[in-house]
Amino acid sequence: MPQVRQQAGPRTGDALIVVDVQNDFLPGGALAVPEGDAVVPVINCYLALFTASGLPIFATRDWHPADHCSSIAQGGTWPPHCVQGTHGAEFAPGLELPVSACHVAKAIGTESDSYSGFEGTDLATDLRTAGAERLFIGGLATDYCVLNTVLDARHEGFAVCLLLDAIRAVEVTPGDGEAAIARMTEAGATPVTLEMLA
Ligand code: VGL
Ligand code: ZN
């Protein structure tokens, strides 16, 4: 008997947002996320799906000045990371971003940090201009930039599919990743995996 199942996408009105898949968040980087590199091949599959469908793709990147307020030396919480123009700030070399992908630099000023790709950027406007209504969001890190980007996307009125197989957490405290996933789903994000879309 043919199986009837919901088609989750991607379809017209969908956009893919890849959050901060940068060298400094991968093993060996300045602020390595455990297993951060594991998201790369999975995100490449999502990139291929969205590219094949001609749907918009956005890639955010943490893009800090060297004396950024988030660094320990400036009274912040993190080692210096994703410093503008450095190798650590570059997208992971294995990430197969199409040339058409829109790059979104965030937290670029010295005095303000922002974990969300929406804060201080044109992302919301650019997404609406591109006709996006539903955002597929994955990347690094689950408990910081993915969390805040997803919550802001919901506040901006976008539907959100959380790429459960393409996120990894920093887990300063064990359980932070699961807690972040719970907060995102409570905010209305729908968890999806590749096999649900293929
Ligand atoms: C991030 C910590 C500091 C992230 C950025 O991309 O999740 N985490 N800056
Ligand atoms: Zn940062």
User: Is 24 considered catalytic here?
Assistant: no
Query: Do the beta carbons of residue 162 and residue 135 sit within 8 Å?
Result: no
- The pLDDT value recorded for residue 8 is 57
- Atom from ligand 1 closest to the CA of residue 25: 6
140 domain residue, yes or no? yes
Cis peptide before 141 (omega within 30 of 0): yes
pLDDT at 174: 97
Report if residue 62 sits inside a domain: yes
Give the residues surrounding ligand 1 with Cβ less than 6 Å away.
20, 31, 62, 70, 78, 115, 140-141, 144-145
CATH of the domain at 118: 3.40.50.850
| 174 in any annotated domain | yes
- Domain count of the chain? 1
Give the domain extent around 81. 14-197
Atom of ligand 1 nearest to the CA of 64: 9
Nearest CA to ligand 1 atom 3: 78
Confirm if 17 and 117 have CB atoms less than 8 A apart. yes
Catalytic residue flag (residue 62): no
What's the confidence (pLDDT) of residue 9? 73
183 within a domain of the structure (yes/no): yes
The sheet carrying 159-168 orders its strands as 102-106, 57-62, 14-19, 134-140, 159-168, 190-192
Where b means 16+ CB within 10 Å and e means fewer, 80-103 reads: bbbbeebebbebbeebbbeeebbe
Compute, in angstroms, the gap from residue 34 CA to the centroid of ligand 1.
Answer: 13
Residue 198: predicted pLDDT: 74
Q: What is the pTM of this model?
A: 0.95
Contact 136, 16 (CB under 8 A): yes
- Nearest bound ligand to the CA of residue 69: 2
Each residue's pLDDT, cut to its tens digit, for the chain (198 residues) gives: 555 555 557 999 999 999 999 999 999 999 999 999 999 999 999 999 999 999 999 999 999 999 999 999 999 999 999 999 999 999 999 999 999 999 999 999 999 899 999 999 999 999 999 999 999 999 999 999 999 999 999 999 999 999 999 999 999 999 999 999 999 999 999 999 999 987
Per-residue pLDDT at 7: 54
| Residue 8 counted as domain residue | no
